Chains A and B, each alone.
Chain A
Amino acid sequence: MTPDQIQAMRQLLYRLADDQLIIGHRNSEWTGLGPVLEEDIAFSSIAQDKVGHAHALYQLLHQELAEPEPDTIAFMRDEKDFFCCQLVEMPIGEYDFSLIRHWLFDLAEQIRFDAYAESQWMPLAKVARKIKGEIKYHVFHAETWVKTLAEGTEESKARMQSALNEVLPMAMGMFECKENNALLAEAGWITAEAELQNQWEARVKACLQAWGLQWPAQTDASAFLGGRHGYHTEHLQPLLNEMTEVYRLDPSAEW
């Protein structure tokens, strides 16, 4: 890899890992409040999987690209040094919002990591192969819920549609970094971001049609861009405060 490519890979991994950590922390806020016991356990378990994926990606940054230890990266950075998309930092809202976000996010993850499993850069391919089984279950979970509610009562269908209208423009922000990732795509390390987005949109549209939901009229992501460059909503800092509260008491403590 050239120095430019190494820097681009570092940025890509931070973006992916931060997405996992922040959505994992967000979704864990449902623990104890889920709609039924079984779902509470399932959703919490998925949130834990996400933190595990973040760890695997931070480990990759540490071992292959000379970044600090995973715990240091996760707990000691300032808000502006996080590169998650704004979608994942939004508050959990009601369960319809969290379910639609879970679906749109995990579907993108599945397409992304299935593609990265074939990467020419072996360390990335290995991590992608390790986590793609869990992501497959996450998508199965999300799609079963959204389909069931979309085909349920008038109210559940209306809630799915309105949550979708709200979340889709945010979700478009996941694919913010096309130019930056092109450097890696040209070298064959990853699949181009635009290609991932096309596949994602096609799959979302096919599902919506099958479940009787509409692709939203408003999909402009411009209000939700910047996360990939360290510009966040007001919601990220309070999350980081809570997440790092214990660690910062004594960063040298052994756990």
Chain B
Amino acid sequence: MKLNSLDPRVNRMELPDENPYTDQVLHTMEHWETYEVFHQKKRGTQHVHCGIVHAPNADMALLFAKEQFARRGETSNLWVVKTEHVMAVDYGDADIFETTPEKVYRDASGYKVMDRINEFKKKQNA
């Protein structure tokens, strides 16, 4: 049985159904690892995650990050971090983010302070 793809070009290649490459290990030199890129627009503001680059080392990751993510628009700084150094919550544990709704005492919406803030601002501007 031949591989059946939605892409006719793939079908025309008549690839064998079994992947002949499964027993091959990708070596570091053939497959660069990924670095997460963080972009800072203005100095003093937060670095915001904007994507990844493939690179053989951190210096090269910075080189590529500059061209992929800072070629257009304003940039004051970039960070790159090896993807493998990022700790993440397991999606299977996503229920830790579900929170019970009966905690109105946690919401700050009950405070009526706008009058005092506006009064303070007026004083600052005077």
Contacts and interface: CB of A to CB of B under 8 A. Distances in A.
Main secondary structure of the interface of A (DSSP, over half): helix
Contact of A41 (B29, B57, B59, B68): B68
A38 B59 contact: no
Interface in A129-149: 137, 140-141, 144-145, 148
Interface residues of B, number: 15
A111 interface: no
A148 B32 CA distance: 13
Interface in A120-173: 137, 140-141, 144-145, 148, 153
Interface in A1-52: 36-39, 41-42, 45
Contacts of B55: 38
Contacts of B57: 148
Nearest to A43: B67
What class of interface size applies to chain A in its complex with B?
10 to 19
A31 B63 CA distance: 17
A81 B57 CA distance: 44
A42 B59 CA distance: 14
A141 B53 CA distance: 15
Given A39-B64, A42-B64, A153-B29, A148 B59 contact: yes
Interface string B20-45: 00000000010010000000000000
A60 to B, nearest CB: 25
B55 to A, nearest CB: 7
Contact of B60 (A137, A144, A153): A144
A38 B60 CA distance: 10
Nearest to A149: B56
B71 interface: yes
A177 to B, nearest CB: 32
Contacts of A153: 29
A38 B67 contact: yes
A39 B55 CA distance: 9
Contact of B66 (A36, A37, A137, A145): A137
Contact of A140 (B32, B56, B63): B63
Interface in B49-78: 53-57, 59-60, 63-64, 66-68, 71
The 9 closest A-B pairs by CB, nearest first: A38-B64, A42-B67, A144-B59, A45-B67, A38-B53, A141-B63, A41-B67, A144-B63, A144-B60
6 contacts: A36-B32, A38-B53, A41-B67, A140-B63, A145-B60, A148-B60
